[in-house]
A and B are shown apart, each in its own frame.
Chain A
Amino acid sequence: MASFRSRKSELRVLSVSGIAVICLIFAAICLIFVARDDRVIGTLRQLMSDAFAPTYDVISRPSLELRKMRNAATNLVDLQASYTELEQENQKLREQLVELRRTRVLLDRYRELLALPVEPSLHVISARVIADLQSPFVRTLVANTGRMAGVQEGQAVTGGRGLIGRVVSVGRVSSRLLLLTDFNSHVPVLISPSNTRAILSGNNADRPVLRFLPKNARIEEGAQVVTSGKGGQVPIGIPIGVVRFDGNGSPYVDLLEDFHNLSYVRIISTRAIEPPPSDPDTQILTERGR
């Protein structure tokens, strides 16, 4: 009897293992044959994000409050140092503001003279990060704003200091943000002051690399990297970071934004480029140019 029971138990174990093998084969077939950008999976993914957005919202709140408390405690400790630093920064910003106003007047004048199209005005949508999907395999975030707030796929996303990524899928009340560090992120950039164009590609590490640099391009360590605006969806000139070189001499970008402590993000929406207003002076200039 005991032997029969043992045999029966063994058979049951084998059958569970057999089912596990069948499941393993099924999952492997899915992995091999279902494309990552499959439309059905993409829709399902966004529906799930929307459905779980309230849950994420609730479970991320204690963490957010803890981070706020931690930051507050750190600030209290360094209060005097922070005050001095802010004073200096404020002074610097005032000086830059004067320069910025002057540059803006000049820029508007040049734009008029050259009859350049008016750059689209930027519309910023603030959102809270409700889920951090960063792992060894993906680098994405979920924000608690979606189509209802005007978010669209491809829009640029910034933190407090610079670009962090772009929107890859949008639901009704949530959106997925692909970080610059993700392996599938490729953003056209401009390296100033040499105005060298390149592609900033993520490598699932903290330092995305610069690819497709022109031959004989001369870029210096510390050069500023900004968005090039190529493609139209990401506005030109959003700061990203500075160029650094690794031990092999390959350039990478030291990002301005700290990706480990992102609580709030800004989604930048651009409107369609409008032609310049028909001004008689501008028309004369255009005709002379011809």
Chain B
Amino acid sequence: MNEFSSTNVQAPGQQLLINIFPLFLVFIFILIGHVSFGLEITTHLDPALFLVPVFFLALHSKRNLTPVLIMLLGLFKDIIDGTPFGFWGVLITFFYFAAHGQQQVLLRAEFRGRWLGYAAVSFLTFLIAYLIAAVRDDMLSLFWLSMASAGLSALWFPPISILLGMLIIDEQE
């Protein structure tokens, strides 16, 4: 698998696509996340598909503006979802920060390694979400629901990463 594999992704022609397309995908996934499929098992879970393009940006984007735009998208999710303002802002920025911190290791890793890295950061992010909900008066979350959401998010990693990996493959060609 070639997903997320290249480190030389900053060719001028592709730079815009690599920096803008994942952000657009984050926006789309925030909206799509609200479509109900009427399945009992997924109703109360948040698959957080938007975390995959954020992970991609954390590994590849070198623009200073990227974390700011990611935080703004988190705040946008708070407004859309009805969660306290700043809740997803904190989580998504933390996710970006944690993934970016492991950039060098993850870029050298095999696909399975990156998947594992993504899953680890997702679980950590949802653990923080659970803890924030636990200390706030106006929020409550069940631990297993948060962890199941992180698990579901990790399951979505391969198909979305294939889509994002195509950006890099095109550039290499």
Nearest-neighbor residue (CB-CB) of A21 within chain B? B97
Q: Which of A139-182 contact B (CB under 8 A)?
A: 139-140, 142, 176
Q: Are B75 and A30 in contact (CB under 8 A)?
A: yes
Query: Which of B13-21, B29-37, B111-119, B161-169 is the contact stretch?
Result: B29-37
Q: Are A23 and B68 in contact (CB under 8 A)?
A: yes
Q: Are A36 and B40 in contact (CB under 8 A)?
A: no
A30 cross-chain contacts in B, Cβ below 8 A: 75, 85-86, 89
B156 cross-chain contacts in A, Cβ below 8 A: none
Indicate whether A183 sits within 8 Å of B140 (C-beta atoms), given known contacts A15-B64, A136-B149, A137-B129: yes
Asked whether A44 is an interface residue with its Cβ less than 8 Å from the other chain, the reply is: yes
Query: When each residue 131-147 of chain B gets 1 if its CB lies under 8 Å from chain A and 0 otherwise, what string results?
Result: 01100001111100110
Interface of A is mostly: helix
Q: How far is the CB of A53 from chain B (nearest CB, A)?
A: 11
Interface of B is mostly: helix
Give the distance in Å from the alpha carbon of A233 to the alpha carbon of B87 in the complex: 31
Query: Which of A105-113, A127-135, A210-218 is the contact stretch?
Result: A127-135
Give the distance in Å from the alpha carbon of A220 to the alpha carbon of B141 in the complex: 29
Number of A-B contacts (CB under 8 A): 161
Query: When each residue 34-72 of chain B gets 1 if its CB lies under 8 Å from chain A and 0 otherwise, what string results?
Result: 111111100111100000000000000011101110110
Q: How far is the CB of B142 from chain A (nearest CB, A)?
A: 6
Interface size class of A (residues with CB under 8 A): 35 or more
Q: Are B46 and A135 in contact (CB under 8 A)?
A: yes
Asked whether A28 is an interface residue with its Cβ less than 8 Å from the other chain, the reply is: yes
Give the distance in Å from the alpha carbon of A277 to the alpha carbon of B50 in the complex: 60
Q: Are B89 and A27 in contact (CB under 8 A)?
A: yes
Asked whether A192 is an interface residue with its Cβ less than 8 Å from the other chain, the reply is: no
Nearest-neighbor residue (CB-CB) of A168 within chain B? B82
Asked whether A13 is an interface residue with its Cβ less than 8 Å from the other chain, the reply is: yes
Q: Which of A15-38 contact B (CB under 8 A)?
A: 15-17, 19-21, 23-24, 26-32, 34, 36, 38
Asked whether A195 is an interface residue with its Cβ less than 8 Å from the other chain, the reply is: no
Query: When each residue 35-76 of chain A gets 1 if its CB lies under 8 Å from chain B and 0 otherwise, what string results?
Result: 010100100110011001001100110010011001000000
Give the distance in Å from the alpha carbon of A233 to the alpha carbon of B48 in the complex: 36
Q: Are B141 and A136 in contact (CB under 8 A)?
A: yes
Q: Looking at B31, B36, B89, B138, which has the most chain A CB atoms within 10 Å of its CB?
A: B36
Nearest-neighbor residue (CB-CB) of A139 within chain B? B44
Q: Are A31 and B90 in contact (CB under 8 A)?
A: yes
Q: Are B86 and A28 in contact (CB under 8 A)?
A: yes
Q: Are B32 and A59 in contact (CB under 8 A)?
A: yes
Q: Are A138 and B82 in contact (CB under 8 A)?
A: yes
Q: Looking at A20, A28, A70, which has the most chain B CB atoms within 10 Å of its CB?
A: A20
Asked whether B84 is an interface residue with its Cβ less than 8 Å from the other chain, the reply is: yes
Q: Are B89 and A135 in contact (CB under 8 A)?
A: no
Q: Looking at A16, A29, A131, which has the most chain B CB atoms within 10 Å of its CB?
A: A16
Give the distance in Å from the alpha carbon of A48 to the alpha carbon of B100 in the complex: 31
Asked whether A260 is an interface residue with its Cβ less than 8 Å from the other chain, the reply is: yes
Q: Are B86 and A133 in contact (CB under 8 A)?
A: no
Asked whether A205 is an interface residue with its Cβ less than 8 Å from the other chain, the reply is: yes
Q: Are A132 and B35 in contact (CB under 8 A)?
A: yes
Give the distance in Å from the alpha carbon of A28 to the alpha carbon of B38 in the complex: 34
Q: Which 8 residue pairs are nearest across A and B when measured between Cβ atoms?
A: A31-B86, A30-B86, A27-B89, A132-B36, A135-B46, A136-B145, A20-B67, A23-B71
24 cross-chain CB contacts under 8 A: A17-B101, A19-B67, A23-B89, A24-B71, A24-B93, A29-B86, A31-B84, A31-B87, A41-B85, A52-B80, A55-B31, A56-B34, A56-B35, A59-B31, A133-B81, A135-B81, A135-B149, A137-B129, A137-B139, A137-B141, A138-B81, A142-B34, A184-B138, A260-B40
| Extra pairs beyond A20-B96, A129-B36 (11, CB < 8 Å) | A17-B101, A20-B67, A26-B89, A27-B89, A41-B79, A45-B79, A56-B34, A59-B32, A63-B37, A134-B43, A135-B44
